[in-house]
Structure 1
Amino acid sequence: MTAQRLADELGISERAVAAKLESGASLIRIARQVLPSTTNRIEAMNLPGVEIVRQTKRSYPYGSTASQVLGHVNVDNVGNAGIEKLYQKTLAGHPGQAVMQMDARGSSRFDPDYPREEPLHGGRVTLAIDIDAQAIAEEELAVGIAANEATGGMVVITRPQTGEVLAIASWPDYDPNNPSEGPVENQKNRAITDVYEPGSTFKIVTFTAVLERDLINLDEMIDLEEGRWHVADRIIRDSHRNDSLSVRQGFAKSSNILTGKLAERMSKSEFYTVMRDFGFGQKTGIDFIGEVRGILPTPRHWSGVSQANMAMGQGVAVTALQLAMAYGAVANNGWLLRPILITSTQEPDGTYTRTQPVRVRRVMMPSSARILRKLMVEAVEDGTGGNAIIAGVSVAGKTGTAQKPDPINGGYMSGQHFVSSFCGFLPAENPEWLALVVIDDPQGDRYYGGSVAGPVFRKIMQRLLVTLPQSEQMFALDEYDDPRALSDGRVLAPNVLAFSPDEAGEKLDDCGLKTELVGVGDIVIAQNHHAGSMLNVGDSMELTLGAYVDSGTLTVPELRQKNLRLALAELTSRGLLPAVEGAGVVVRQDPSAGTVVPMGTRVNLIAEPILEATQ
């Protein structure tokens, strides 16, 4: 009777329940993680010997959003994938223990003769992932895949000035609340664990190599062999036939022949070194499980056509994260950064660790980066990236369309099988956000990166522009970034915080900028364009004046429970620099309100989304 009633409620075999009840064991587990409604009904039955044991279960309120980053736990709440697995010890905490005494009446109390260990609550792991950016990336990726009848795709969004990973999405995904309902393959974070041939998005590496060696003139005309170039025993083709193009035009129109010819101006060793410097063929160092190195053959394994093929992104395999970080070096004036996925951790014992940006190496001089950014803007505005144009914002980017390798027969798959991609950043003059979009095996008439991935990039960035707050530049300007060193009528805004009005005016005048003073005071406490912003010669900078407080110190205001945008405005108006984690409402700040700090001190803000009550 008991077995039948339990089986009916739990939806399992009566025979299986009966077998467990008749096993003779003193403690038998019939089922786990049963719905509360079911347990309430069983409890009301008052079945002899049946006890309901309540346990905690991890809940993922955002469902599949960021699921391949977070991972999930098993029935025992032990991390089984993703951050849950990597930081199991930090998140789980430690159980306590104590020896108890029981008297004749059944009352229990602690035994003071034995040691007692207090439990430690689980720690905290804070991600650089922005929930809004992640949701936007996943939503637009899914729309783009459906529109192009593709088999999958990936999106990576970063802050190129710091290396923070704001979103990292791949499709298909899964629901961590019910991980067993889909294929295990869907739990992989493909942007980190899978490789693909990048195609023309890789051409920034080739152009960096020849720019750094002063091997090209942007206006030099290159013979394009009427669209068919014989290299060793192969023929390299351009998708659009041209007799000749300038180097500048060749980048915008993504000419394979032009790029291959430029690569042959270097030795194999030189080209290989540049690819390695960009981080290809090695792990990025992201704090995550399962990262792969990609595939970068050494020169001794190259054939006669390898150098020309690699120059246009074939014959080399990369992860989406590797390519995004490589583009970050163009955006931030030449530095390859280590990606930041974890911004801070707090261990169960209270130990707090904050992740700082790490410059891996300089891969190009700022002058080369500025030229590449110009070429990428032209590629969007006058070349193959036209579908990524956003009105009112300068976008720098590059398209990519690569044939898919045939894993069975070698070579490339016959028929229409491509990986379409677009990588870019904005604003082009002083990039805040970078995004890489990769669409796998699109079907139909459109398969070029500009037509397939470009629109997805545009929609993602349009939504980010009205969602995410802009951040202050984390790195100081390099010695190479002298504002007076720029050409074409543009300058980088200098940092004049804490300057006197006269000193600030002289500094701006040296840079070809005009000064507009607001307020009364002895020093500059805020500037409307932060250091590193790209301006035109003759532009004005608005400087807010204020007075010294305790010889150059300021009192940190109370920012908790304020909207993040208002908190940012208040900090910058006082001459303090914000560093932001999250979005929404400020829940924590460091230093705390009332702390007296020097002007220009960075104030760390942690914000969380506003939760709405539902009925």
Structure 2
Amino acid sequence: MGRARYIVMMGLVLIGLGLLAGRIVDLHVFERTFLKGQGDARTLRVDEIPAHRGMITDRHGSPLAISTPVVTLWANPQDVPEDGIQRLRLAQALGQDLDALNKRLARYSEREFMYLERRMTPGAAQKVLDLRVPGVHARKEYKRYYPAGEVAAQLIGVTNIDDKGQEGLELAYQPYLAGVPGKRRVLKDRRGRLVRDLEVLKEAEPGGDLTLSIDQSLQYMAYRELKAAVEKNDADGGTLVMLDADTGEVLAMANQPSYNPNNRASLDPAGLRNQAIVDTFEPGSVIKPLAMSALLETGKFPPDTVVDTSPGWMVIDGYTIRDVSNNGKLTLTGILRKSSNIGMSKLTLQLDKPVVPRRYRALGFGSAPGTGFPGEATGSVPSPRVWSSSQWAALSYGYGLSVSALQLASAYTAIANHGKRLPPSLLRLDQAPQGKPVIEPAIADKVLGMMDEVVAPGTGARRGMVPGYRVAGKTGTVRKVGSDGYQQSTYRALFVGIAPVSDPRIITVVMIDHPRGDEYYGGAIAAPVFSRVAGSALRMLDVPPDRSSQDDDDE
């Protein structure tokens, strides 16, 4: 009986040893690949190599948006010790409240990842890492910095905490600027700590650099003058656009209100909008020279045409159209000098074709400017099947349509370029575009000369004069629309100017929104801003004067 028991026990032992040996053979021979993969999955990792975001510069290479290296600290909550002293030291190094840190660790206790602090400076992050708290790790990232701050904020835009474009050109050119992240294989321990870099699987491809058309010096100057005018006149805001008259490039684009993209703690959402491109308004009298070009091109009005604007008001379709004063008989140039709504209306109503709205569309109103900027406005030019006389008249003096400041500036490139309109560009161009002929050259030159006479001593636009330079310009004062129609005491003050007249170099649009001071007319509010900005810009661009100092003294 004892021998039989011994044989049975030995048999069981041998069977067990045989099964164990078989399993060992199975694991080492047949399942070797599977087990190796499972082991590697717990030690080998593929990490992302962040790509360096491309730089945004002005036309001369001065940086407007750059990416700087930062460190993001993260933790595996399951590995962070519960020791009170270690947690206190960690919270102090992070600059966080201990109770808040403990609550976050408890909330993520069943996960293996949580952020401790995003985008720290390398020095500050290293102080935390030197504590050697288990479960705390670092990851290299980049943070966007904007040297120009609020001066060009709405144009350039911003990135979010993950360095992805959210507004402005940062958003428009996100794929180009972002680049392509790389990949690397690394060896990590069971706590997720890096043991060794093994190999780079794919190099990161840095983002492309973006060269804008703006001149940073002009941008600073334009922003300073616009901000000062808005504050002086207690206005809601304003915008300024300066174009290169030869290329259509945007040399400066300023907006108020603005914001500091480097510190968004107290960001006002209203400051995010690039009003110059995304907002529209009725242009009012600043559009009269463009309408005049269409009227002259019909051949119906010779240069010596005189229009009687007395008694300073007229009724059309039950609507009363008024001038600021009774100007009596006016020449075509006089209509622009006096900014006569009556004169423009009487000329327009002599025609049986909608030449004025056609001219507006040819100049780009009602269509997107094509800059690629997110949310750029198209504006509107109405096209009803049956035009009423009051609609025809209103369009000729700038009501009944809407435009953006950029569209308005772009339209005036046709006056400055002998009838060829240039598309606006936010990027620096290697060569000037050919432009699209939209106005007969002789007519464009005629209107430029008329606008030259508008900006003269004794006119409402006299404050737009620039010492040493001839200026072609036009003022505008537009009632704003409210819930009950046009408001009686809220206005937009505008000025459009081309300088110098002898060889146009810049085109500038200034709009001040709802000035609350004693003065609100475009000639009093917007024209002085143009004068200061244009004067400084022409000197910065080394444009030779086309007006003698003696002429200035005589006037």
How does the TM-score come out when normalised to structure 2? 0.77
* Cα displacement (A) at 1:284: 1.5
Aligned to 1:19: 103
Does the 8 A contact of 2:310 with 2:326 survive in 1? Answer: no
Judging changes above 3 Å, is the alpha-carbon distance between structure 1 residues 77 and 108 closer, same or farther for their aligned structure 2 residues? closer
1:318-365, CA deviations, whole angstroms, 9 ceiling, x for partnerless residues?
100111011111011111111111236xxxxxxxxx676252x31211
1:208-248, CA deviations, whole angstroms, 9 ceiling, x for partnerless residues?
11111112233322111311111110111111222222222
Does the 8 A contact of 1:219 with 1:248 survive in 2? Answer: no
Supply the distance in 2 between the matched residues of 1:430 and 1:133 (Cα, whole angstroms).
20
Q: Which runs of 5+ in 2 are unaligned?
A: 1-83, 548-555
* Cα displacement (A) at 1:37: 6.5
Supply the distance in 2 between the matched residues of 1:6 and 1:39 (Cα, whole angstroms).
11
Three-state SS of the structure 2 residue aligned to 1:179 is coil
- Alignment match of 1:429 (pick from 482, 502, 517): 502
Does the 8 A contact of 2:416 with 2:444 survive in 1? Answer: yes
Aligned to 1:460: 533
Does the 8 A contact of 2:335 with 2:343 survive in 1? Answer: yes
Supply the distance in 2 between the matched residues of 1:356 and 1:102 (Cα, whole angstroms).
56
Judging changes above 3 Å, is the alpha-carbon distance between structure 1 residues 101 and 50 closer, same or farther for their aligned structure 2 residues? closer
Judging changes above 3 Å, is the alpha-carbon distance between structure 1 residues 108 and 316 closer, same or farther for their aligned structure 2 residues? closer
Does the 8 A contact of 2:295 with 2:355 survive in 1? Answer: no
Aligned to 2:37: none
Three-state SS of the structure 2 residue aligned to 1:65 is helix
- Alignment match of 2:294 (pick from 209, 213, 228): 209
Alignment-mate amino acid for residue 178 of structure 1: N
* Cα displacement (A) at 1:283: 1.1
Report which stretch shifted further, 32-41 or 182-191.
Answer: 32-41
Supply the distance in 2 between the matched residues of 1:286 and 1:267 (Cα, whole angstroms).
35
Aligned to 1:578: none
- Alignment match of 1:126 (pick from 186, 203, 211): 211
Does the 8 A contact of 2:327 with 2:338 survive in 1? Answer: no
What is the number of equivalent residue pairs in this alignment? 456
Judging changes above 3 Å, is the alpha-carbon distance between structure 1 residues 35 and 302 closer, same or farther for their aligned structure 2 residues? farther
- Alignment match of 1:389 (pick from 465, 480, 504): 465
In the alignment, does 2:194 pair up with 1:110? Answer: no
Three-state SS of the structure 2 residue aligned to 1:31 is strand
Aligned to 1:398: 474
Aligned to 2:437: 362
Judging changes above 3 Å, is the alpha-carbon distance between structure 1 residues 59 and 423 closer, same or farther for their aligned structure 2 residues? same
Alignment-mate amino acid for residue 157 of structure 1: M
What are the within-5 Å matches in structure 2 for residues 127-526 of structure 1?
A: 127-300=212-385, 302-343=387-428, 357=433, 359=435, 361-382=436-457, 383-406=459-482, 408-409=483-484, 411-414=485-488, 416-469=489-542
Alignment-mate amino acid for residue 387 of structure 1: R
Q: Which runs of 5+ in 1 are unaligned?
A: 345-353, 471-528, 536-615
Supply the distance in 2 between the matched residues of 1:72 and 1:269 (Cα, whole angstroms).
43
Aligned to 2:38: none
- Alignment match of 1:78 (pick from 164, 187, 211): 164
Judging changes above 3 Å, is the alpha-carbon distance between structure 1 residues 66 and 107 closer, same or farther for their aligned structure 2 residues? closer
* Cα displacement (A) at 1:260: 1.1
Does the 8 A contact of 1:390 with 1:462 survive in 2? Answer: yes
* Cα displacement (A) at 1:94: 1.3
Supply the distance in 2 between the matched residues of 1:334 and 1:149 (Cα, whole angstroms).
38
Alignment-mate amino acid for residue 461 of structure 1: A
Judging changes above 3 Å, is the alpha-carbon distance between structure 1 residues 224 and 107 closer, same or farther for their aligned structure 2 residues? closer
| More helix per residue | 2
Aligned to 2:71: none
* Cα displacement (A) at 1:130: 0.8
Alignment-mate amino acid for residue 137 of structure 1: A
Three-state SS of the structure 2 residue aligned to 1:207 is helix
* Cα displacement (A) at 1:467: 1.5
1:553-580, CA deviations, whole angstroms, 9 ceiling, x for partnerless residues?
xxxxxxxxxxxxxxxxxxxxxxxxxxxx
Supply the distance in 1 between the matched residues of 2:116 and 2:222 (Cα, whole angstroms).
42
Supply the distance in 1 between the matched residues of 2:100 and 2:188 (Cα, whole angstroms).
38
Supply the distance in 2 between the matched residues of 1:79 and 1:355 (Cα, whole angstroms).
28
What are the within-5 Å matches in structure 2 for residues 20-35 of structure 1?
A: 20-22=104-106, 23-34=109-120
Report which stretch shifted further, 3-12 or 206-215.
Answer: 3-12
Alignment-mate amino acid for residue 98 of structure 2: E
Three-state SS of the structure 2 residue aligned to 1:438 is strand
Supply the distance in 2 between the matched residues of 1:301 and 1:98 (Cα, whole angstroms).
68
* Cα displacement (A) at 1:301: 6.4
Cα RMSD for the two superposed structures: 2.6
Does the 8 A contact of 1:272 with 1:299 survive in 2? Answer: no
Aligned to 1:587: none
1:496-553, CA deviations, whole angstroms, 9 ceiling, x for partnerless residues?
xxxxxxxxxxxxxxxxxxxxxxxxxxxxxxxxx9xxx999xxxxxxxxxxxxxxxxxx
Alignment-mate amino acid for residue 413 of structure 1: Q
Alignment-mate amino acid for residue 450 of structure 1: G
Does the 8 A contact of 1:337 with 1:358 survive in 2? Answer: yes
Judging changes above 3 Å, is the alpha-carbon distance between structure 1 residues 151 and 302 closer, same or farther for their aligned structure 2 residues? farther
Judging changes above 3 Å, is the alpha-carbon distance between structure 1 residues 379 and 123 closer, same or farther for their aligned structure 2 residues? same
* Cα displacement (A) at 1:423: 0.5
Supply the distance in 1 between the matched residues of 2:397 and 2:468 (Cα, whole angstroms).
31
How does the TM-score come out when normalised to structure 1? 0.70
Does the 8 A contact of 1:197 with 1:313 survive in 2? Answer: yes
Does the 8 A contact of 1:68 with 1:82 survive in 2? Answer: yes
* Cα displacement (A) at 1:45: 4.5
Judging changes above 3 Å, is the alpha-carbon distance between structure 1 residues 192 and 355 closer, same or farther for their aligned structure 2 residues? farther
Three-state SS of the structure 2 residue aligned to 1:275 is helix
Supply the distance in 2 between the matched residues of 1:218 and 1:138 (Cα, whole angstroms).
40
Alignment-mate amino acid for residue 475 of structure 2: T
1:239-267, CA deviations, whole angstroms, 9 ceiling, x for partnerless residues?
12222222221211111110111111223
Judging changes above 3 Å, is the alpha-carbon distance between structure 1 residues 18 and 274 closer, same or farther for their aligned structure 2 residues? same
* Cα displacement (A) at 1:370: 1.1
Does the 8 A contact of 1:220 with 1:246 survive in 2? Answer: yes
Three-state SS of the structure 1 residue aligned to 2:486 is coil
Three-state SS of the structure 1 residue aligned to 2:382 is coil
The structure number with the bigger radius of gyration is 2
Does the 8 A contact of 1:102 with 1:108 survive in 2? Answer: no
Does the 8 A contact of 1:268 with 1:307 survive in 2? Answer: no
Alignment-mate amino acid for residue 394 of structure 1: R
Does the 8 A contact of 1:329 with 1:363 survive in 2? Answer: yes
Supply the distance in 2 between the matched residues of 1:107 and 1:308 (Cα, whole angstroms).
77
What are the within-5 Å matches in structure 2 for residues 41-60 of structure 1?
A: 41-43=127-129, 45-60=131-146
Aligned to 1:584: none
Aligned to 2:64: none
* Cα displacement (A) at 1:11: 5.1
Supply the distance in 2 between the matched residues of 1:204 and 1:423 (Cα, whole angstroms).
10
* Cα displacement (A) at 1:10: 4.4
1:245-297, CA deviations, whole angstroms, 9 ceiling, x for partnerless residues?
22221211111110111111223432221121111111111121111111211
Higher relative CO (CA 8 A, sep ≥ 6), structure 1 or 2? 2
Does the 8 A contact of 2:311 with 2:326 survive in 1? Answer: yes
* Cα displacement (A) at 1:53: 3.9
Judging changes above 3 Å, is the alpha-carbon distance between structure 1 residues 272 and 108 closer, same or farther for their aligned structure 2 residues? closer
Judging changes above 3 Å, is the alpha-carbon distance between structure 1 residues 107 and 424 closer, same or farther for their aligned structure 2 residues? closer
Alignment-mate amino acid for residue 257 of structure 2: P
Alignment-mate amino acid for residue 398 of structure 1: K
Does the 8 A contact of 1:269 with 1:299 survive in 2? Answer: no
